[in-house]
Amino acid sequence: MNTLQRGGWAVGAAALALASQVHAQAQAQAQAQTSAPPAIPSSSVTLYGVVDMAVESARTGNGGLQRLESGVIAGSRWGLRGTEDLGGGQRALYVVEAGFNGDTGASGQGGLAFGRQVFVGLGGGWGQLTAGRHYTTLHTSLASYALTGLIWGNAANYFRDGTVLRASNSLRYQSPNMGGFTVRGMYSFGEAAGSSVASLYGGSVDYAAGPWALGASWMQRRTTAVNTDRYALLGAAYDFGVARAALLLSTRHDDLPAATSGQGRFYEASVTVPMGMAGQWLLSYGAYHGQARAQSDARALSVRYDHSLSKRTKLYAGVGRIHNEAGAAFTINTASNAGPVVQAGSRPSSVVLGISHAF
């Protein structure tokens, strides 16, 4: 055999060996792919939001007011929320949510970039713990037992203390459902050296079984070195099938003199009545009793109809009225903003016609 023949045999043997190795690797890879479980996405990100706009005609005690208003029955907003699977039933999670006024394009919540809520944390079978800017546990309870929420049409939204609905610099925990019970707790750091001023803490317990829902909530906020605001709430709701009814009672106590005190209590009784597959009526009546100042009581009545054009788009119309005593000046708030300023003792009213679209 000459040199050329011997070289050809060597090249052929090498090619055969290489082909055999590639074939073996391909078989092993195919078997691994066949036996491995299907891939599960380890993380997800969702962009979401609401644009809500309404034409409002209001009476304030100082004359009439017509305006285009944003965030009436749903706060106009956009946000991102996501999770990452950490394995073993554990996950990381976050929410970044900004409010805006659709009528002007301005940021909501006093101009904060992400004023509605922003937090990050961990969750699992033990519950969920997050850090950032949150809705308070008191807000969650108010929204749960004021049917349709703290929005236009709910007396609780007219009488609530709007300064304690969210808390920055806060930790919030929510338990899993434990035989119908859910427990929440939160703490907001005051972040003042050597002082507890501006700190806030609270918690809630809710129970749901069949048509019943019951809840209790409390919260305490240190406003100054000599004052602490204390809030408490009891709520109940029952679904009759043809209608759902709810009742809540909320109280506030403080250590301030009567002239500046916000002590008082209010209740709201509300009912929602479905109308076919797309419509719903809301009827709300509530009353406030000021416990520190005379003639500071008020009563509120609202009726609203919501009609869904699709899963994302809703039309609504409503009429509401407040009767303030001589020392009270409550106004008809929307989901996002305070209502127009009214005179003490006035009887403000509001008529709205709007559209809300969620994406």
What percent of the chain has a predicted confidence (pLDDT) above 70?
Answer: 89
- Cβ count near 205 (within 10 Å): 17
Decide which of 27 and 149 is more confident. 149
Mean pLDDT to the nearest integer, 301-307: 98
For residue 77, pLDDT beyond 50: yes
β-pairing verdict for 43-59 and 349-358: antiparallel
Q: Provide the mean pLDDT of the chain.
A: 91
Decide which of 324 and 15 is more confident. 324
**What is the tens place of the pLDDT at every residue in 93-131?**
999 999 999 999 999 999 999 999 999 999 999 999 999
Decide which of 236 and 34 is more confident. 236
Q: What pLDDT is attached to residue 7?
A: 40
Q: What pLDDT is attached to residue 23?
A: 43
pTM for the structure as a whole: 0.86
Q: What pLDDT is attached to residue 258?
A: 94
What percent of the chain has a predicted confidence (pLDDT) above 90?
Answer: 87
Q: Take residue 218 and report the two structure tokens written for it.
A: 């409390």
For the chain, give the longest Cα–Cα distance: 121
Domain boundaries, the chain: 49-358
For residue 6, pLDDT beyond 50: no
Q: What pLDDT is attached to residue 205?
A: 98
For residue 259, pLDDT beyond 70: yes
For residue 3, pLDDT beyond 90: no
| Class at the top of the CATH hierarchy for domain 49-358 | mainly beta
For residue 239, pLDDT beyond 90: yes
